[in-house]
Amino acid sequence: MKNVLILGANGQLARNTTRVFLRDTDARLTLYLRRASRLRNPDPKRVTIVEGDVLDRTRLEATMKGQDVVYANLSGAMRQQAESIVAAMNATGLKRLVFISSMGIYGEVPGERYGSMLDPYRDSAARIEASNLDYTILRPGWFTQDDEISYQITQKGQPFKGHDVSLNSLSDLIVKLALTPGMESRHSLGVSRR
Ligand SMILES: NC(=O)c1ccc[n+]([C@@H]2O[C@H](COP(=O)([O-])OP(=O)(O)OC[C@H]3O[C@@H](n4cnc5c(N)ncnc54)[C@H](OP(=O)(O)O)[C@@H]3O)[C@@H](O)[C@H]2O)c1
Protein backbone atom coordinates (compact mmCIF):
# COMPACT_ATOMS: atom_id res chain seq x y z
CA MET A 1 0.00 0.00 0.00
CA LYS A 2 1.59 3.27 -1.15
CA ASN A 3 1.65 6.60 0.66
CA VAL A 4 1.03 9.47 -1.75
CA LEU A 5 1.66 13.13 -0.89
CA ILE A 6 -0.47 15.56 -2.93
CA LEU A 7 0.87 19.12 -3.02
CA GLY A 8 -1.63 21.87 -3.81
CA ALA A 9 -4.42 19.50 -2.85
CA ASN A 10 -7.21 22.03 -3.22
CA GLY A 11 -6.50 22.49 -6.94
CA GLN A 12 -9.14 21.47 -9.44
CA LEU A 13 -7.16 18.54 -10.88
CA ALA A 14 -5.85 17.49 -7.45
CA ARG A 15 -9.39 17.24 -6.05
CA ASN A 16 -10.50 15.13 -8.99
CA THR A 17 -7.43 12.88 -8.67
CA THR A 18 -7.95 12.49 -4.91
CA ARG A 19 -11.43 11.15 -5.66
CA VAL A 20 -10.01 8.66 -8.19
CA PHE A 21 -7.25 7.49 -5.81
CA LEU A 22 -9.83 6.82 -3.12
CA ARG A 23 -12.28 5.11 -5.48
CA ASP A 24 -9.85 2.93 -7.46
CA THR A 25 -6.84 2.21 -5.23
CA ASP A 26 -5.89 1.44 -1.64
CA ALA A 27 -3.28 4.24 -1.49
CA ARG A 28 -3.08 6.36 1.61
CA LEU A 29 -3.09 10.07 0.86
CA THR A 30 -1.65 13.15 2.52
CA LEU A 31 -3.29 16.31 1.24
CA TYR A 32 -0.98 19.31 1.60
CA LEU A 33 -2.47 22.73 1.04
CA ARG A 34 -2.62 26.30 2.23
CA ARG A 35 -5.68 27.24 4.34
CA ALA A 36 -6.64 23.64 5.03
CA SER A 37 -10.03 24.57 6.48
CA ARG A 38 -11.25 24.79 2.88
CA LEU A 39 -11.04 21.03 2.47
CA ARG A 40 -13.25 18.40 4.11
CA ASN A 41 -11.49 15.10 4.82
CA PRO A 42 -13.09 12.67 2.34
CA ASP A 43 -11.96 9.50 4.19
CA PRO A 44 -10.29 10.00 7.59
CA LYS A 45 -9.11 6.33 7.67
CA ARG A 46 -6.95 6.84 4.57
CA VAL A 47 -6.46 10.59 4.29
CA THR A 48 -4.39 13.01 6.36
CA ILE A 49 -4.69 16.74 5.77
CA VAL A 50 -1.66 18.97 6.39
CA GLU A 51 -1.79 22.76 6.21
CA GLY A 52 1.33 24.09 4.55
CA ASP A 53 2.96 26.11 1.83
CA VAL A 54 5.26 24.29 -0.60
CA LEU A 55 7.79 27.09 -0.09
CA ASP A 56 7.95 26.22 3.65
CA ARG A 57 10.87 23.75 3.44
CA THR A 58 10.71 22.72 7.08
CA ARG A 59 7.08 21.74 6.94
CA LEU A 60 7.43 20.18 3.49
CA GLU A 61 10.35 17.99 4.59
CA ALA A 62 8.55 16.93 7.74
CA THR A 63 5.50 15.96 5.69
CA MET A 64 7.59 13.99 3.18
CA LYS A 65 8.84 11.58 5.83
CA GLY A 66 7.21 8.18 5.27
CA GLN A 67 5.82 9.02 1.83
CA ASP A 68 6.47 6.94 -1.31
CA VAL A 69 5.31 9.29 -4.06
CA VAL A 70 4.90 13.06 -4.45
CA TYR A 71 2.24 14.40 -6.83
CA ALA A 72 2.61 18.17 -7.30
CA ASN A 73 -0.43 20.06 -8.61
CA LEU A 74 0.63 23.67 -8.28
CA SER A 75 0.40 27.12 -9.84
CA GLY A 76 2.04 30.50 -9.22
CA ALA A 77 5.72 30.67 -8.25
CA MET A 78 6.50 27.31 -9.81
CA ARG A 79 10.26 27.71 -10.19
CA GLN A 80 10.67 28.33 -6.47
CA GLN A 81 8.19 25.56 -5.70
CA ALA A 82 10.11 23.09 -7.88
CA GLU A 83 13.35 24.06 -6.12
CA SER A 84 11.75 23.52 -2.74
CA ILE A 85 10.31 20.15 -3.77
CA VAL A 86 13.57 18.86 -5.26
CA ALA A 87 15.56 19.96 -2.21
CA ALA A 88 13.07 18.45 0.23
CA MET A 89 12.92 15.18 -1.71
CA ASN A 90 16.71 14.97 -1.80
CA ALA A 91 16.88 15.65 1.93
CA THR A 92 14.33 12.95 2.74
CA GLY A 93 15.53 10.38 0.17
CA LEU A 94 12.24 10.41 -1.76
CA LYS A 95 12.57 9.67 -5.49
CA ARG A 96 9.21 9.48 -7.26
CA LEU A 97 7.63 12.76 -8.40
CA VAL A 98 4.66 13.38 -10.70
CA PHE A 99 4.64 17.08 -11.55
CA ILE A 100 1.83 18.87 -13.42
CA SER A 101 3.03 21.44 -15.94
CA SER A 102 1.40 22.70 -19.13
CA MET A 103 1.43 22.07 -22.86
CA GLY A 104 3.62 24.54 -24.75
CA ILE A 105 6.68 24.77 -22.51
CA TYR A 106 9.07 23.52 -25.21
CA GLY A 107 7.32 25.32 -28.11
CA GLU A 108 5.92 21.90 -29.03
CA VAL A 109 2.33 22.93 -29.83
CA PRO A 110 2.02 23.46 -33.60
CA GLY A 111 0.97 27.03 -34.43
CA GLU A 112 1.06 28.26 -30.81
CA ARG A 113 3.60 30.51 -29.10
CA TYR A 114 2.74 30.91 -25.45
CA GLY A 115 5.52 33.39 -24.60
CA SER A 116 6.52 34.48 -21.12
CA MET A 117 3.21 33.39 -19.60
CA LEU A 118 4.68 29.89 -19.46
CA ASP A 119 8.07 30.88 -17.99
CA PRO A 120 7.24 29.55 -14.50
CA TYR A 121 6.28 26.23 -16.13
CA ARG A 122 9.43 26.14 -18.26
CA ASP A 123 11.69 27.03 -15.35
CA SER A 124 10.12 24.53 -12.96
CA ALA A 125 10.33 21.75 -15.54
CA ALA A 126 14.00 22.58 -16.16
CA ARG A 127 14.74 22.36 -12.41
CA ILE A 128 13.10 18.96 -12.19
CA GLU A 129 14.77 17.62 -15.32
CA ALA A 130 18.15 18.68 -13.90
CA SER A 131 17.52 16.68 -10.71
CA ASN A 132 18.29 13.03 -10.08
CA LEU A 133 14.68 12.30 -9.22
CA ASP A 134 12.48 9.59 -10.73
CA TYR A 135 10.14 12.24 -12.14
CA THR A 136 7.34 12.34 -14.69
CA ILE A 137 6.28 15.79 -15.89
CA LEU A 138 2.81 16.05 -17.42
CA ARG A 139 2.05 18.71 -20.04
CA PRO A 140 -1.74 18.59 -20.39
CA GLY A 141 -3.92 20.36 -22.92
CA TRP A 142 -6.90 22.44 -21.74
CA PHE A 143 -8.94 20.69 -19.06
CA THR A 144 -12.53 19.62 -19.78
CA GLN A 145 -15.13 18.34 -17.32
CA ASP A 146 -16.57 15.48 -19.37
CA ASP A 147 -16.59 11.94 -18.00
CA GLU A 148 -14.69 10.17 -20.74
CA ILE A 149 -11.24 8.69 -20.23
CA SER A 150 -9.46 9.01 -23.56
CA TYR A 151 -5.94 10.29 -24.02
CA GLN A 152 -2.79 10.10 -26.07
CA ILE A 153 0.73 10.82 -24.99
CA THR A 154 3.54 12.58 -26.81
CA GLN A 155 7.11 12.51 -25.57
CA LYS A 156 9.42 15.52 -25.24
CA GLY A 157 10.80 16.30 -28.71
CA GLN A 158 7.57 15.30 -30.48
CA PRO A 159 4.92 17.82 -31.58
CA PHE A 160 1.95 18.02 -29.20
CA LYS A 161 -1.18 16.44 -30.66
CA GLY A 162 -4.70 17.69 -30.04
CA HIS A 163 -5.85 20.52 -27.80
CA ASP A 164 -7.80 19.50 -24.71
CA VAL A 165 -8.10 16.62 -22.26
CA SER A 166 -10.61 15.64 -19.59
CA LEU A 167 -9.80 15.90 -15.90
CA ASN A 168 -10.78 12.24 -15.61
CA SER A 169 -8.23 11.25 -18.25
CA LEU A 170 -5.48 13.12 -16.41
CA SER A 171 -6.48 11.63 -13.06
CA ASP A 172 -6.44 8.13 -14.58
CA LEU A 173 -2.90 8.70 -15.84
CA ILE A 174 -1.65 10.34 -12.63
CA VAL A 175 -2.89 7.43 -10.50
CA LYS A 176 -1.17 4.90 -12.80
CA LEU A 177 2.06 6.90 -12.79
CA ALA A 178 2.01 7.22 -9.01
CA LEU A 179 1.45 3.52 -8.36
CA THR A 180 3.38 1.81 -11.19
CA PRO A 181 7.13 1.59 -10.48
CA GLY A 182 9.29 2.85 -13.35
CA MET A 183 6.37 4.03 -15.52
CA GLU A 184 7.53 6.89 -17.79
CA SER A 185 10.41 7.60 -15.43
CA ARG A 186 12.37 10.78 -16.30
CA HIS A 187 9.98 11.59 -19.13
CA SER A 188 7.98 14.74 -19.89
CA LEU A 189 4.65 13.81 -21.44
CA GLY A 190 2.23 15.82 -23.54
CA VAL A 191 -1.31 14.62 -22.77
CA SER A 192 -4.38 15.30 -24.90
CA ARG A 193 -7.67 13.71 -25.92
CA ARG A 194 -7.21 10.80 -28.30
N1 LIG B 1 -6.96 24.49 -16.59
C2 LIG B 1 -6.37 24.08 -17.68
O3 LIG B 1 -6.98 23.93 -18.74
C4 LIG B 1 -4.89 23.75 -17.65
C5 LIG B 1 -4.26 23.28 -18.78
C6 LIG B 1 -2.90 22.93 -18.72
C7 LIG B 1 -2.20 23.09 -17.53
N8 LIG B 1 -2.84 23.59 -16.44
C9 LIG B 1 -2.05 23.73 -15.21
O10 LIG B 1 -2.18 22.55 -14.43
C11 LIG B 1 -1.95 22.87 -13.06
C12 LIG B 1 -3.04 22.26 -12.22
O13 LIG B 1 -4.30 22.81 -12.63
P14 LIG B 1 -5.48 23.06 -11.59
O15 LIG B 1 -6.66 23.52 -12.39
O16 LIG B 1 -5.61 21.92 -10.67
O17 LIG B 1 -4.87 24.33 -10.82
P18 LIG B 1 -5.47 25.14 -9.60
O19 LIG B 1 -6.89 24.77 -9.35
O20 LIG B 1 -5.11 26.58 -9.83
O21 LIG B 1 -4.61 24.56 -8.39
C22 LIG B 1 -3.29 24.93 -8.14
C23 LIG B 1 -3.10 24.86 -6.65
O24 LIG B 1 -1.75 25.22 -6.34
C25 LIG B 1 -1.79 25.73 -5.04
N26 LIG B 1 -0.57 26.44 -4.71
C27 LIG B 1 -0.01 27.49 -5.38
N28 LIG B 1 1.10 27.89 -4.74
C29 LIG B 1 1.22 27.09 -3.65
C30 LIG B 1 2.17 27.01 -2.60
N31 LIG B 1 3.22 27.83 -2.54
N32 LIG B 1 1.99 26.07 -1.65
C33 LIG B 1 0.95 25.23 -1.69
N34 LIG B 1 0.01 25.24 -2.65
C35 LIG B 1 0.16 26.17 -3.61
C36 LIG B 1 -2.99 26.63 -5.05
O37 LIG B 1 -3.35 26.79 -3.71
P38 LIG B 1 -4.28 28.01 -3.17
O39 LIG B 1 -5.67 27.54 -3.42
O40 LIG B 1 -3.90 28.07 -1.76
O41 LIG B 1 -3.91 29.24 -3.97
C42 LIG B 1 -3.99 25.83 -5.87
O43 LIG B 1 -4.89 25.10 -5.06
C44 LIG B 1 -1.86 24.39 -12.98
O45 LIG B 1 -0.52 24.81 -12.96
C46 LIG B 1 -2.54 24.82 -14.28
O47 LIG B 1 -2.10 26.10 -14.73
C48 LIG B 1 -4.14 23.91 -16.48
pLDDT tens, residue by residue, 169-187: 999 999 999 999 999 999 9
Is the CB of 75 inside a 6 Å radius of any atom of ligand 1?
A: yes
Helix (H) or strand (E) holding 88: helix 78-92
* Cβ-based neighbours of 188, under 8 Å, separated by 6 or more: 101, 106, 125, 129, 136, 137, 139, 155, 156
Is the CB of 76 inside a 6 Å radius of any atom of ligand 1?
A: yes
CATH label of the domain that carries residue 10: 3.40.50.720
User: Is it the case that residue 150 has pLDDT exceeding 90?
Assistant: yes
pLDDT tens, residue by residue, 14-54: 999 999 999 999 999 999 999 999 999 999 999 999 999 99
Q: Which of 17, 20, 38, 74 to mutate to test the pocket of ligand 1 (most atoms within 8 A of CB)?
A: 74
Overall number of domains in the chain: 1
pTM beyond 0.85, yes or no:
yes
Q: What is the distance of C-alpha 156 from the center of its chain?
A: 17
Mean of per-residue pLDDT scores for the chain:
98
pLDDT tens, residue by residue, 50-83: 999 999 999 999 999 999 999 999 999 999 999 9
**What is the DSSP-derived secondary structure letter of residue 157?**
T
- Percent of the chain past pLDDT 70, that is, above it, reads 100
User: Is it the case that residue 84 has pLDDT exceeding 90?
Assistant: yes
Phi, psi of 8 (to 5 degrees): 80, 45
Cβ count within 10 A of residue 164: 14
**Alpha carbon of 165 to ligand 1 centroid (Å):** 16
User: Is it the case that residue 113 has pLDDT exceeding 90?
Assistant: no
Model confidence band, residue 156 (pLDDT cutoffs 50, 70, 90): very high
User: Quick one: pLDDT at residue 7?
Assistant: 99
Range of the domain at 114: 3-192
User: Quick one: pLDDT at residue 60?
Assistant: 98
Q: Which of 75, 78, 128, 174 to mutate to test the pocket of ligand 1 (most atoms within 8 A of CB)?
A: 75
Tell me the three state secondary structure of residue 91: helix
